[in-house]
Chain A
Amino acid sequence: MELELWQAALLQAIVIGSPILLAASGELLGQRVGVFNIGIEGVMLMGAVGGFMVAAEAGNVVVGLIGAAAFGAGFVFLFGLATVVLRANQVVAGFGLWLLGLGLSSQIGRPYTGKRAEHPIDHWEIPGLHEIPWVGDILFEHLWLAYVAFLIPFFIALVMFRTRHGLNIRSVGEDPGSADAAGVSVIAWRLAYVVFGGALIGLSGAFLSLGTTQNWTPFMTSGLGWIGLAVVIFAGWRPLLLIVGAYLFGGLRALDFIAQSGGWNVPPEILTMLPFIGTVAVLILGAWRYRHRPDAGAAPRALGQAFFRGS
């Protein structure tokens, strides 16, 4: 079937947007408890290589994905120890995490470089829906992990805004001193959610190596992690808006490819920049719009700050 240009754009937006959504969901969990993990790109790479290796050795894709989550979580656990428990500077530690992930993943993935994934993630056609004319095959014939990625923000929103537990984790990112005084275990929740977020970021890496490309190559994430970071800011730290942001930025990222097939005369570098220009624009708009509302659409107040009891 020949796809119209808009159909191709939509398809690519979802294909590229889904791993961004997973990574952004993981990053959001960390940021909501006040931990800014800029090493997200390195964590994705660890997840990509870990998932690929485990799937190859175990001969099973689900085991591979669990491996990817474990690689991501374990890798971020180091970061959590440094920043949450030992209170190191989050930006410096995150930078280290990124570079370490970059190097470590290419090193441990060397034996697997260039091989095809024997047990990739399957596509699921949603019964009935995928036969809808025009959009059915665009929206409802994806990797099953893409549907999971779509549902995760709903789950996060539900827990975060409709449960006692969610109230507690939000308070840890807003005002850890007050949360502590109210009886919330700040260090424990911070560590738990940064690591949990790391698992999701690891999964997003495996989405690429076991799903989109079905092979492992060093540096294969090529900036998607940074876009995930931008999506969190774009969404104003609100889980449901992650979905909009991820697909939008996925679509912008796909413009490169669409421009080529459409024969547009635009340098690809310009198109690659678009998500980041979009993020800056949203930041400016957001700052202007929420200037007078200290409680809405803003970053968690304690984002990036180490917690010391009594300070």
Chain B
Amino acid sequence: MTSTDSGNAPLAVQMRGIVKRFDDLVAVNDVDFDLRAGEVHALLGENGAGKTTLMNVLSGLLRPDRGHILLNGEPTRIRSPRDALRRGIGMVHQHYRLVHGFTVAENIHLGWDASPTVLTPARIEERTRELSDRFHLDVDPAARIWQLSVGEQQRVAILRTLARGARILILDEPTAVLAPGETDKLFGMIRQLSSESGRTIVFISHKLEEALEISDRVTVLRGGRHMGTHAAEDCTPRMLSQEMVGRSIEFTRQREPVELGENALVAEALSTTDDRGLPALREVDVTVRAGEIVGVAGVAGNGQRELSETLTGLRALTAGRIQVGGQDLSRAHARDFLAAGVGHIPEDRYASGLVLTESIEHNAILRAFQHPPVRRGPLLIQGAARRFARMLAKTVGLSISDVSAPVRSLSGGNAQRLLTGRELNASARVLVVVHPTRGLDIGAIEEVQQVLLRARATGVAILLISEDLNEVMRLSDRILVLYRGAIVGEFTDPEQFNLEEIGLLMGGALAAAS
């Protein structure tokens, strides 16, 4: 459809023929994009579809290789984020780009021409309070960013952008790290901003339902190309998902019943501290039986990382017991956990799962190089390592022509498959999995989930820690909800998993559940 055939609001932004390349990758390929003044416009697409890149161009962070932008009909070159803000365009990034050691007030006033030249903490905190009242965004001006929850940080980032006079507000995946309750709050805020103060809002997302719920119009990108722009009321989730991935994907639960075995992982009254020495886990009890997937739902920063680290020997306990297959590992090191059959898929596969610059082969043997056949005496047997890597790739259905290529050359999905295969091969008993599909596209998500379900069918006990509630609900036999380091709820019947109730628990709204 053309950009002017419905609605009578003037066009605030016209992006024409935008191209942006990163080395060989064409992230945005000849895209046209319009914004009407006062609308909420969802920008939909899979990871890597070019949504964020396109908006980075509009907000001045990136310069397009080709194409041009018209603001209110005038051709405009946007040179920097600061320049964009001067023209009324502000972007709230997925990572909020707040200085963590600074206070809320300092972050609001940072890099802002309208900040007073001489500023004392008291003065900018007072100004922040006024802004907070004016935009109905509740923040604590004196708090430091690292002390805030993700939702609170998001409010600070939005407030900062609005305070600088953004008439066009770009929100990059604003709901990705929020609990359902916080998402509702955010949507209320977006509606208020667009209806009461007439601001134009771009809502970047890969979640269809959310996009349809909040937006007036939807634009879909795929592989860096513009697939279509529609009025939200004319759209169905099915048609949008087809546009997003190029085929329709059925989300069905493909879990066959599995006979549960003995208790493979038993953790009792686990307590530990985070990196700052503050309590991160409080008397957490977790039991996973062979052939069972236990999901841990929760908003990021409520102890997930610490839980996965204590259960793999990476973080010491301050109290409690861990048993794997009857063996006590409460004081054991990571290597003992591996020997006892505990595999780990860490939350950031590139930071702590794989060595990006090393070859696929060397990454494949990371858990096996201490044992024959890869090791012989003090030597590493190259041929055996290569055969091992090929074997591993085959078990997870990875077709690799050259195992000496660096892991960097693999796509996110293939890297995750390699990692999953390696950990399953090393540990047949327990697998601790954190955010296994984060950042993957829909096809790769399916494949990784299938690998986990196959492992379950062979009797592996899996603890699945994920922020993606849909994933937890789809895969788990049992769900635990983690909030502020404690288990606040347990759901034992997969037929009666309740998104709303779990969401409320994740947000700390309910004290107990079924």
Measured CB to CB, the residues of A under 8 A from B are 162-165, 167-168, 170-171, 174-175, 177-185, 291-295, 298, 301, 309-310
Contact = CB atoms under 8 A, between A and B. Distances in A.
B207 interface: no
Contact of A164 (B93, B107, B117): B117
A206 to B, nearest CB: 32
Q: Which 5 A-B pairs have the closest CB atoms?
A: A183-B82, A182-B111, A183-B111, A184-B111, A181-B97
Given A165-B117, A181-B81, A182-B110, 16 more contacts: A164-B118, A164-B119, A167-B115, A174-B99, A175-B97, A178-B99, A179-B111, A180-B81, A182-B97, A182-B111, A182-B112, A183-B82, A183-B111, A183-B113, A292-B278, A293-B276
B160 A174 contact: no
Contacts of B115: 164, 167
A181 B115 CA distance: 16
A266 to B, nearest CB: 40
B401 to A, nearest CB: 31
Interface of B: 56, 61-62, 80-82, 85, 93, 97-102, 106-107, 109-113, 115-120, 144, 146, 160, 164, 276-278
A267 to B, nearest CB: 41
B163 to A, nearest CB: 11
A30 B100 CA distance: 21
Interface of B is mostly: loop
A163 B119 contact: yes
B277 A167 contact: no
A175 to B, nearest CB: 4
19 contacts: A162-B118, A171-B102, A171-B106, A171-B111, A175-B98, A178-B107, A180-B81, A181-B97, A182-B107, A182-B112, A183-B111, A183-B164, A292-B276, A292-B277, A292-B278, A294-B101, A301-B101, A310-B61, A310-B62
Contacts of B277: 291-292
A122 B98 CA distance: 48
A168 B111 contact: yes
Interface centre among A162, A177, A182, A184 (most CB of B within 10 A): A182
A174 B278 contact: no
B61 A163 contact: no
Nearest to A309: B61
A160 to B, nearest CB: 11
Given A167-B109, A309-B61, A179 B117 contact: no
Given A162-B119, A168-B111, A183 B85 contact: yes
Contacts, number: 91
Nearest to A300: B101
Contacts of B106: 167, 171
Contact of B99 (A179, A183, A185, A291): A179
A294 B100 contact: yes
A294 B118 contact: no
B276 to A, nearest CB: 5
A163 B117 CA distance: 6
Contact of B119 (A167, A184, A294, A301): A167
A168 B116 CA distance: 12
A218 B112 CA distance: 47
A163 B116 CA distance: 8
Nearest to B278: A292
B472 to A, nearest CB: 30
Contacts of B102: 170-171, 174, 295
Contacts of A181: 61, 81, 93, 97
Contacts of A163: 117-119
B146 A294 contact: yes
Contacts of A309: 61
A175 B100 contact: yes
Contact of A295 (B80, B101, B110): B101
B99 A175 contact: yes
B278 to A, nearest CB: 7
B101 A182 contact: no
B109 A164 contact: yes
B257 to A, nearest CB: 47
Contacts of B111: 168, 171, 179, 182-184
B97 A178 contact: yes
Nearest to B80: A183
Contacts of A167: 106, 109-110, 115, 119
Contacts of A179: 99, 110-111
A182 B160 contact: yes
A293 B276 CA distance: 7
Contacts of A291: 276-277
Contact of A174 (B93, B101, B109, B276): B101
A178 B102 CA distance: 11
Contacts of B120: 162
A293 B107 CA distance: 18
A171 B61 contact: no
Contacts of B98: 175, 178
Contact of B81 (A171, A183, A298): A183
Contacts of A175: 97-101
A117 B165 CA distance: 59
Contacts of A180: 81
A167 B99 CA distance: 11
Contacts of A164: 109, 112, 115-119
A133 to B, nearest CB: 40
Nearest to A302: B99
A237 to B, nearest CB: 11
Nearest to B119: A164
A183 B144 contact: no
Nearest to A174: B99
Contacts of B101: 174-175, 294-295, 298, 301
B276 A294 contact: yes
A181 B97 CA distance: 7
B55 to A, nearest CB: 13
B89 to A, nearest CB: 12
B81 A168 contact: no
A97 to B, nearest CB: 29
Contacts of B278: 292
B159 to A, nearest CB: 13
A68 to B, nearest CB: 31
Nearest to B93: A181
B144 to A, nearest CB: 5
A138 B277 CA distance: 47
A294 B99 CA distance: 12
Contacts of A171: 99, 102, 106, 110-111
Nearest to B147: A295
Interface centre among A174, A177, A183 (most CB of B within 10 A): A183
A195 B14 CA distance: 42
Nearest to A294: B146
A239 to B, nearest CB: 17
A165 B109 CA distance: 10
A156 to B, nearest CB: 15
B140 to A, nearest CB: 15
